[in-house]
Structure 1
Amino acid sequence: MHTAVLHYLDPFVDKIETRDRLTEEEREALYALPQKLVRTAARSRIVEEGERPTHCCMVLEGIVYRSKLTASGQRQIMSFHVPGDMVDLHTILFKVADHTIETVRSAAVVLVPHGAVLRAAEEYPALARAFWYDTLLDTSIHRETLLNVGRRDARTRTAHLLCELAVRLKRVGLVNGGRFELPLTQIDLADALGVTPIHMNRVLARFRKEGLIVVSGRSVTIPDWKALVAIGEFDATYLHLEGPSDLHL
């Protein structure tokens, strides 16, 4: 058995093995990939749109996001990523980054060279499937995000995003008693949900008044999970988790 000491890629291995059990050889092949741990400050850009990345990035600690800018400088956050997410496997084949990857607050990411990932995929079909699955999961989340921003009102889309983040953070053990750290500003949420910061403030204030969320510093508590799920029309099927989609915090 592999050592019990935390390995940088353990969160990604855990994510894979919620679906498919790896053999010891396959697991060790992942652990043997060259890796570089990078600790970042808040608002650090890991990849800049237009760059030619040479490494894939796995989130070890913190939250990172993908974003794009309009010609006038308006930001749209495309997705958030939590520990265990391999954010940009697609850059192995897409040589030029078509979006920016940035940290929310201080974070730790693990960089793995493209060539090493590609060789592992070629040598171990199970790892190739795992990498492929991860990119397909990203696409599934993007489809739901498009529906959320394009067809749901601000109240519904806000509840939906909070539910999604809660479920994804719970999967990696970062929710305790319905409470989780969410170091996003109202501007971040507004840019992810396609509303103005003023409108975002009003939605969140109403949620707090109704007792749907409790905010304390950078932490959020969801006292009534079923109520928030109903408001957000949230069905976690698109996250392709093991087990029921109506998850309780």
Structure 2
Amino acid sequence: MSDSRTHPLNLLVRKLDQWNPLSDDDCNAVRALPFTRRQLKAGEHVVWDGDRPQNACLILSGFAYRYKVAGNGGRQIMSIHMKGDIVDLQNSLLGVADHNVQMLSAGHIALIPVEAVRDIAFSRPAVGMGMWYETLVEGSIFREWILNIGRRNAIVRVGHLLCEFAMRMEASELGKQTEYELPITQEQLADAVALTSVHVNRTLMKLEELGYISRTRRRITINDWHKMAVLADFQPRYLHLRMDARN
């Protein structure tokens, strides 16, 4: 058996334990879940809208995003997922996917059969509670994204998403709160904030011109976190991270 510290499903243990403390037996039961490890290229789909997924997906490395496509062909990115995120727990119960999940970058995923997810959620209440927390936090993030694209102007929308990335990247040990590698292109960022890629480019240039951020290719540096958070109307409560007590 793999060392628990290096076991692929230890990312799932960490995520669930963050929301609801797990016993040693619970942690071992999570690590004992059956799974298939897959390596995916950027652009490959994890889930297609209308599918009946047989697995829940844990991101082991790389980035993925959820999206839907309107009747006119327009794409709306609904959320970004990174290392340690559990994608589509909902399919363990709902059965039919109502959106797409696609890899933003190359990465590894662990596919856990939905039957095993259901079994452990109901047989081990602490694990089930952690999964419930995870879906509730996803709902909280969705609400914030709706507010972002519905009621904020361009510079606030983009700034808010950059702040969210900053905190989530640090929580996932993929960057620092004030400096990280932006995992998406300007076109993809545009689809996440419901703007054109030209408008996003101008907005990023404006944020840089005003001194809120510095950029080197995709590396983002937030020069003054407090000022950026005020500009971006960013209150991290909706992320429900234990680290958000700082703000």
Instruction: Quote how far apart the aligned CAs of 1:85 are.
Output: 0.8
Q: Distance in 1 between matches of 2:244 and 2:176?
A: 19
Q: Distance in 2 between matches of 1:74 and 1:158?
A: 19
Instruction: Quote how far apart the aligned CAs of 1:5 are.
Output: 4.0
Could you tell me which residue of structure 2 aligns to residue 24 of structure 1? Answer: 24
Residues 45-93 of structure 1: CA distance to partner in whole angstroms, max 9, x if unpaired?
1111111100001111111110000112110000111111101000011
1:146 maps to a residue whose letter is I
Structure 1 runs, 4 residues or longer, greater than 4 Å off? none
- CA distance change for structure 1 residues 102 and 22 in 2, over 3 Å: closer, same or farther? same
Could you tell me which residue of structure 2 aligns to residue 152 of structure 1? Answer: 152
Equivalent residues in 2 for 1:1-249, closer than 5 Å: 3-176=3-176, 178-247=178-247
1:33 maps to a residue whose letter is L
Residues 120-159 of structure 1: CA distance to partner in whole angstroms, max 9, x if unpaired?
1121011111111111110010011111111111111111
The 8 Å contact of residues 235 and 245 in structure 1, kept in 2 or not, is answered as no
Instruction: Quote how far apart the aligned CAs of 1:245 are.
Output: 4.3
Instruction: Quote how far apart the aligned CAs of 1:187 are.
Output: 0.7
Measured on the aligned residues, the alpha-carbon RMSD in Å equals 1.5
Where structure 2 has 5 or more consecutive residues not aligned to the other structure, the ranges are none
- CA distance change for structure 1 residues 4 and 128 in 2, over 3 Å: closer, same or farther? closer
The 8 Å contact of residues 235 and 246 in structure 1, kept in 2 or not, is answered as no
Residues 181-236 of structure 1: CA distance to partner in whole angstroms, max 9, x if unpaired?
21211111110001111111100111122222222233222121111101111001
Instruction: Quote how far apart the aligned CAs of 1:177 are.
Output: 7.2
Percent identity reads: 38
Q: Distance in 2 between matches of 1:104 and 1:244?
A: 26
Q: Distance in 2 between matches of 1:136 and 1:25?
A: 24
Partner secondary structure for residue 90 of structure 2: helix
2:24 maps to a residue whose letter is E
The 8 Å contact of residues 63 and 107 in structure 1, kept in 2 or not, is answered as yes
Q: Distance in 2 between matches of 1:4 and 1:30?
A: 11
Q: Distance in 2 between matches of 1:5 and 1:126?
A: 20
Q: Distance in 2 between matches of 1:225 and 1:54?
A: 42
Q: Normalization by structure 2: what TM-score?
A: 0.95
Partner secondary structure for residue 128 of structure 1: helix
Q: Distance in 2 between matches of 1:138 and 1:128?
A: 15
- CA distance change for structure 1 residues 69 and 177 in 2, over 3 Å: closer, same or farther? closer
Q: Distance in 2 between matches of 1:215 and 1:246?
A: 25
1:49 maps to a residue whose letter is D
Q: Distance in 2 between matches of 1:244 and 1:58?
A: 24
Q: Normalization by structure 1: what TM-score?
A: 0.94
Q: Distance in 1 between matches of 2:9 and 2:134?
A: 14
Q: Distance in 2 between matches of 1:211 and 1:108?
A: 36
Q: Distance in 2 between matches of 1:245 and 1:98?
A: 34
Partner secondary structure for residue 49 of structure 1: coil
The 8 Å contact of residues 57 and 109 in structure 2, kept in 1 or not, is answered as yes
2:168 maps to a residue whose letter is R
Q: Distance in 1 between matches of 2:211 and 2:103?
A: 30
Partner secondary structure for residue 108 of structure 1: strand
Where structure 1 has 5 or more consecutive residues not aligned to the other structure, the ranges are none
Instruction: Quote how far apart the aligned CAs of 1:108 are.
Output: 1.4
Q: Distance in 2 between matches of 1:104 and 1:139?
A: 21
